[in-house]
Structure 1
Amino acid sequence: MRHHNDSYFTGTLLEYLGMMLVSFLAGFFTLGLATPWAFCHRERWVARHTYIEGRQLHFVGKSFDLWLLLLKWTLFSVLTLGLYSFVVPIRFQQWRIKNTYVYGYWDEYYATE
């Protein structure tokens, strides 16, 4: 049985600042078009350094998919006179969680059946 203290984060402040600087500059110099790439870059970094019950997280989201979703959400928000914008944060979190996995979880799950 695993204990909750097997969960930890291995990233450092210097790595985080470097990653955030690269993400900011990419978004700034592309006038925001690279923002989905910057978000996916950040999520991959966080997942790479996060361990839950001793297993590493893995983020598989694609920046192009997020870009298309942001375009769709913006269009829906405009068409509904801003009402859909209340739903966007929830859809965004759903997409983020849907694309985050724990390495090795299913292998152990199926081995116990």
Structure 2
Amino acid sequence: MYVSGNQQPGQALTPLGSIPPGVPIFVFRGGAANWFGTQLLGVLITVLTLGFCYPFAVVLVERWRANNTFLLGRPLQFTGTGWGIFGLWIKWFLLCIITLGIYSFWVYPRLTAWKVEHTVLA
């Protein structure tokens, strides 16, 4: 597997195995004030819409996380949208109601997979 790290455009990719042990691959630079504001806005969106717009709150928080996370010096970018997961959220919500909450055990892994699949190197 190869990664681009901090190389200049046009340089060869660095083999992932050539990174010495102990070198930080991921760096997170988020601050408390921005996190608090993002979380507060996400909670307000969710509560004021009775959970209907929760997917938009998820996207807001994931964009904050990705914008503050760096992989070998390169920033991450979250490409998902609220509308992109809205249909899945409605389906998951209905399945949780129909199964009396049992389906909720499957929602978290699927939501996590969706978040990871929509996080890319910027």
What residue number does 1:48 align with?
67
**Alignment root-mean-square deviation, CA:** 1.9
Distance in structure 2 (CA, Å) of the matches to 1:56 and 1:80: 40
What residue number does 2:120 align with?
101
Which sections of structure 2, spanning at least 5 residues, go unmatched?
A: 1-17
1:68 alignment partner AA: G
CA shift for structure 1 position 75: 2.6
CA shift for structure 1 position 79: 4.2
What is the SS of the residue equivalent to 1:33? coil
What residue number does 2:48 align with?
29
Higher helix share: 1
Q: Does 1:17 align with 2:36?
A: yes
Which sections of structure 1, spanning at least 5 residues, go unmatched?
A: 104-113
Distance in structure 1 (CA, Å) of the matches to 2:91 and 2:24: 41
What residue number does 2:90 align with?
71
1:14 alignment partner AA: A
CA shift for structure 1 position 83: 4.1
Distance in structure 2 (CA, Å) of the matches to 1:26 and 1:80: 26
Equivalenced residue count is 103
TM-score of the two chains, using structure 1 as the length reference: 0.77
2:57 alignment partner AA: A
Percent identity of equivalent pairs: 33
